[in-house]
Amino acid sequence: MARVELQAVRKSFGTVDVIHGIDLDLASGEFVVFVGPSGCGKSTLLRMIAGLEDISGGELRIGGEKMNDVLPAKRGCAMVFQSYALYPHMTVRENMAFGLEQARLSKREIEERVTQSARMLQIDHLMDRKPKALSGGQRQRVAIGRAISRQPRVFLFDEPLSNLDAALRVDTRIEIAALHHRLHDTTMIYVTHDQVEAMTLADRIVVLNAGKVEQVGTPMDLYERPASRFVASFIGSPRMNLIEGATAEAMGAACVGIRPEHLHVAQDGPWAGKVVMAEALGSDTFLHVETAEAGRVVVRIPPGETPTPGTALHLAPDAARLHRFGADGAPLA
Ligand SMILES: Nc1ncnc2c1ncn2[C@@H]1O[C@H](COP(=O)(O)OP(=O)(O)OP(=O)(O)O)[C@@H](O)[C@H]1O
Ligand SMILES: [Mg+2]
């Protein structure tokens, strides 16, 4: 069992504090995704869990045991990096076996584990190649295979798919979801900038901002009930429209948020505007509309006839779907 608990965990590099006291309780077997702007501390937090960075304050427990001073190899964590981090002079088989040899497993055990994880990731036919003779996607599968063969209690992924092309990202994402299903006792912590990865893979998402937790919840929780203006603007693509000024004040808020799918083109809509740009994606069309009342907003409309730039129209927000925020960014009831 590998419950992962962080209590008041802090990190400073010299005099610079980057993690400001984080409390998290991740259940054994849970798939948790960390998201947040660049530099907010996602990789640092992952590296602290793995033992690649020491912990400046607070407590980390894995499976109920305090881990602050336990060596990385003894924590039962395996990490997959964006850069793959394969040894270039070793074959795939050697790359996968290396950590197990270091851990002094028997030859037979190593052979069994390497073969099994290679089969799981369908890289059996690549075992005698060196990394330079592999595509990016194949290298990433080897890196994941190497991590699996260590049979970790906790799997840590730091933006593992960001170097892959769009199609391969989708395939590998689906493989990771299947992997989690198969290794259902293994706790997975996954860092990404990708909205689709976060929404589809996570049991729970942790939104980080400047070294603090902004909100923890299921993907739909965060999408439908953001606990701050920051989370509202961070979760969802295209982003939630945020409207300030007189229109927000008239609704008793410092800021009003409305998602593109909750704004409709309607003749009697209260907001008058002109189309600035239309993005037809095939399945959806996004209109960028400049309005007097709400500023520049993005509206999702069904595919089909697309209004050309300059077209005048009216917009109606779905009143039940408005998010109201106070001056401090907290949601108003
Ligand atoms: N070894 C280090 N020494 C000093 N500062 C560091 C070190 N490593 C990271 N930092 C700082 O800590 C902060 C958090 O960095 P981190 O790499 O964890 O961010 P991140 O959320 O992973 O960002 P990204 O999305 O760009 O990968 C940044 O301000 C970074 O400059
Ligand atoms: Mg990072």
Taking CA atoms only, the protein residue closest to ligand 1 atom 12 is 18
Residue 245 DSSP SS3: coil
Per-residue confidence (pLDDT) for residue 304, from 0 to 100: 87
pLDDT in tens, the chain (333 residues): 799 999 999 999 999 999 999 999 999 999 999 999 999 999 999 999 999 999 999 999 999 999 999 999 899 999 998 888 899 999 999 999 998 998 899 999 999 999 998 988 888 999 999 999 998 888 988 999 999 898 899 999 999 988 888 888 888 899 899 989 988 899 999 999 999 999 999 999 999 999 999 999 999 999 999 999 999 999 999 999 999 999 999 999 999 999 999 999 999 999 999 999 999 999 999 999 999 999 999 999 998 888 999 999 999 999 999 999 999 999 997
- Between CA 286 and CA 309 the distance in angstroms is 12
Tell me the ligand closest to 47's alpha carbon.
Answer: 1
CATH number corresponding to 238-325 = 2.40.50.140
Tell me the ligand closest to 81's alpha carbon.
Answer: 2
Closest CA to 19 of 191, 209, 288: 209
Give me the amino acid identity at 324: R
Taking CA atoms only, the protein residue closest to ligand 1 atom 31 is 39
For ligand 1, whether the C-beta of 102 sits within 6 Å is no
3-class SS letters over 210-240: CCEEEEEECHHHHHHCCCCHHHHHHCCCCCC
* Helical (H) or strand (E) element with 99: helix 92-102
Per-residue confidence (pLDDT) for residue 323, from 0 to 100: 96
Tell me the ligand closest to 193's alpha carbon.
Answer: 1
For ligand 1, whether the C-beta of 13 sits within 6 Å is yes
Domain 4-225 has CATH 3.40.50.300: yes
- Between CA 137 and CA 126 the distance in angstroms is 12
In the chain, what are the domain boundaries?
A: 4-225, 238-325
Please determine whether the domains at 4-225 and 238-325 fall in the same fold group of CATH.
no
Sheet arrangement for strand 16-26: 16-26, 4-13, 57-62, 65-66
Q: In angstroms, what is the span from residue 41 Cα to ligand 1's centroid?
A: 6
Tell me the sheet residues that pair with 154: 77, 187
